[in-house]
Structure 1
Amino acid sequence: MSVCRNLSTFSTCAALSLWILFVVAWPVQSQLGSENKVMDNITVRQGETVLLRCEQGDTVTHTAWLNRSSILYAGEDKWSVDTRVSLVALNQMEFTIKIENVDMADEGLYVCTVQTSTRPRTTSVYILVQVPPKIINLSREIVVNEGSNVTLMCQASGKPEPSISWNFLSNSEDLASEEELLKISSISRQGAGTYECTAVNGIGTDVQTVDITVNYAPTITEGRDIGATLGQKGVLECEASAVPEADFEWYKDDRRIFNGLNGMELVSTGALSKLTFFNVSDGDFGNYTCLAINKLGSSNTSFLLYSQFRMAT
């Protein structure tokens, strides 16, 4: 059943090759006679294996499978250099080849040409390759100042073309979009967090995330006046919300307080600053100001350390 095997001369083999190319060059419309058949499209997912089967017959003298203008197999002789293409069966009943690990480049028209004792006939089939979505262009992590306009981009490839959706994962507010671009006007500090892009096309799903950091000036959120007893311990606390985190300064009247001054301890960790008096004296009572500062601004508030008499026992 080989095309060129058992042929005595090279010219005969060359002539057969020209016959194969001539058959492929026929317009598909002219091949729709009683001995020519167009099969239904074969739909296959990227990475899968596809089988191409062509019916034979007792009167077949030569047969070949072709992809567009390329010969894949001529009888038992493999012409394709693609290692993914192999022969499955060649007998009086069928001529079947397979293509493994199908990719987008494999999509297209495939033709089985059969030479009989009377005339050539063809079987045509079109392979459609479906590709799961893959996000190929996603905005990187963004750092902006509060009040800025923000645009996030998410683009994906795939076949069929994927649809894109956005969701905000870091807040209970319902923020969603079905566009490649997610536009946020005058972003607030509540808009900071993780945004999720999802690409779907019915074949698969791809999900990726991007984080937005929103910088804003400090706002002192916690602090109150404290009563203390002479000779005992007293603590003033100042808490500030800020991005980046705030630096803290403490003042009594116009005099800045440093750690260790007059036995006081000043410790700031994250959003909280503590001014501790280990042995409160009369001179410690009074008004204290906490100042929270970052590169976007500052905020301050005052606290009163007042005398609280010890009750007699």
Structure 2
Amino acid sequence: MVVCGCCVASWRRCVVVCLRLLFLLPAGLPVRSQGQSQSDNKQMDNITVRQGETVFLSCSQGDFVTHTAWLNRSSILYAGEDKWSVDPRVSLVTFNQDEFTIKIEDVDLADEGQYICAVQTISRPRTTSVHLIVQVPPKIVNLSKDLVLNEGSNVTLMCLASGRPEPAIVWRMISPSDDGLSSDTEVLEIPFITRQRAGTYECTAANDIAVDTQTVELTVNYPPSVSEGSDVGVTLGQRGVLECEVDAVPEADFEWYRDDRRIFSSFDGIEIENAGALSKLTFFNVSETDYGNYTCVAINKLGSANTNIVLYEIIEPTSSTLLQEQTAFENEFWEGPGAVQDGNSGTSTMFTPTCLLLIVVLQLLHKF
């Protein structure tokens, strides 16, 4: 039993030595000899790489190297030419007397941390460490949905994003116009929203690597507001059109009335045409009974509004009325105030203004 105990003890010592040579220590660090100096441990500059890229980790070997390994925290990636890592993204690039280089493809956030190149020489071990920093482009992970709400409601828009470095969040209104409404935090508060604040809002998440942008659409419902109607004059027998324009969300339905009687399309030669915010009431052949007062009513689920429009008659002048108007104009022009007529001859009508004209001309000539 004593002999067996010695065999077991010898076997354990052998295992410990092998593990030390392969740097399999709980902390993932190589063994130091008591005579090892601080200069044997080198700290390289941090390596910064973007998520998804490839990184190369390299260290120099030198003469009289017996063992070499690349470690990540407590895991051995490569021991010499032997791959210990089961990660297919890790591979050996160069292994010779001068250089020991591995590469990691498609770097992810989990790859961030300290990497150690441990070299065992005949005299003592040395280590070279580097810290890998993984940058992640911003990504908006939680965004408010498109909203439909009534005018006067309070609105809260939320935008959450991930990324390294931590992205900065900016909210702003971009459509229909940038009115200066913005926020540089994850939350945008809009109290008592008005119809002017309806539109497209943009959330931007940005860091040193990239920018991610998404939008939210706000629809604000409000009751109809009808533009004041313009009265229309039409000649008897001609075509006449009454127009009614409304501003409303959601779109309004139109109704036309003559006094208290509702009018429908194709009724007594009348046609009603609705197109979005505009309604037209068309008379194809205006009659005497068509003249009068009309009411346009616009209705949606939040209310209604109306306006009155008068269809009135325009009397076209006839040939006789035109002649009478022309004669009256000529008499007024030639006679003028203070004109004298003898009542017997039409020549006096022309004589008086002619004499006056001659007198004015003579006075002008006399001045020159």
Output the TM-score relative to the length of structure 2.
Answer: 0.78
Within a 5 Å distance, the mapping from 1:212-223 to structure 2 comes to: 212-221=218-227, 223=229
Q: Which has the higher contact order (CA 8 A, sep 6+)?
A: 1
* Runs (5+) with no aligned partner, structure 2: 1-10, 320-368
Query: Residue 86 of structure 1 aligns to a residue in which SS?
Result: strand
Q: 1:207 aligns to what?
A: 213
Letter of the aligned partner of 1:69 in structure 2? Answer: S
Deviations 1:205-229 (A, max 9, x none): 1111111111110101252111111
| Structure 1 residue 15 displacement after superposition | 5.0
Closer/same/farther in 2, CA of residues 13 and 44 from structure 1, 3 Å limit: farther
| Structure 1 residue 17 displacement after superposition | 3.8
Aligned partners of 1:32 and 1:38 also within 8 Å: no
User: Which stretch shows the higher mean deviation, 209-218 or 38-47?
Assistant: 38-47
State how far apart, in whole Å, the 1-side matches of 2:70 and 2:227 are. 76
Deviations 1:172-219 (A, max 9, x none): 422221111111111111111111111111111111111111111010
State how far apart, in whole Å, the 1-side matches of 2:268 and 2:310 are. 18
* Number of aligned residues: 304
Q: 1:292 aligns to what?
A: 298
Closer/same/farther in 2, CA of residues 222 and 97 from structure 1, 3 Å limit: farther
Superposed CA RMSD in Å reads: 2.3
| Structure 1 residue 307 displacement after superposition | 1.0
State how far apart, in whole Å, the 1-side matches of 2:277 and 2:14 are. 88
Q: 2:140 aligns to what?
A: 135
2:285 paired with 1:279: yes
State how far apart, in whole Å, the 2-side matches of 1:153 and 1:179 are. 9
Q: 2:253 aligns to what?
A: 247
Greater share of strand residues, 1 or 2? 1
| Structure 1 residue 116 displacement after superposition | 1.3
Deviations 1:86-110 (A, max 9, x none): 1111111111111111110110011
Q: 2:41 aligns to what?
A: 36
Q: 2:117 aligns to what?
A: 112
Q: 2:310 aligns to what?
A: 304
| Structure 1 residue 234 displacement after superposition | 0.7
Q: 1:77 aligns to what?
A: 82
Greater share of helix residues, 1 or 2? 2
2:66 paired with 1:64: no
Closer/same/farther in 2, CA of residues 281 and 14 from structure 1, 3 Å limit: farther
2:234 paired with 1:231: no
Query: Residue 299 of structure 1 aligns to a residue in which SS?
Result: strand
Q: 1:262 aligns to what?
A: 268
Work out which of the residue numbers 92, 99, 114 in structure 2 matches 1:94.
99
State how far apart, in whole Å, the 1-side matches of 2:227 and 2:18 are. 88
Closer/same/farther in 2, CA of residues 142 and 159 from structure 1, 3 Å limit: same
Tell me which structure has the larger Cα radius of gyration: 2
Aligned partners of 1:135 and 1:157 also within 8 Å: yes
Deviations 1:232-252 (A, max 9, x none): 111110010111100000111
Aligned partners of 1:44 and 1:129 also within 8 Å: yes
Identical aligned residues as a percent:
65
| Structure 1 residue 34 displacement after superposition | 2.1
Closer/same/farther in 2, CA of residues 49 and 32 from structure 1, 3 Å limit: farther
| Structure 1 residue 13 displacement after superposition | 7.9
Output the TM-score relative to the length of structure 1.
Answer: 0.91
Letter of the aligned partner of 2:278 in structure 1? Answer: L
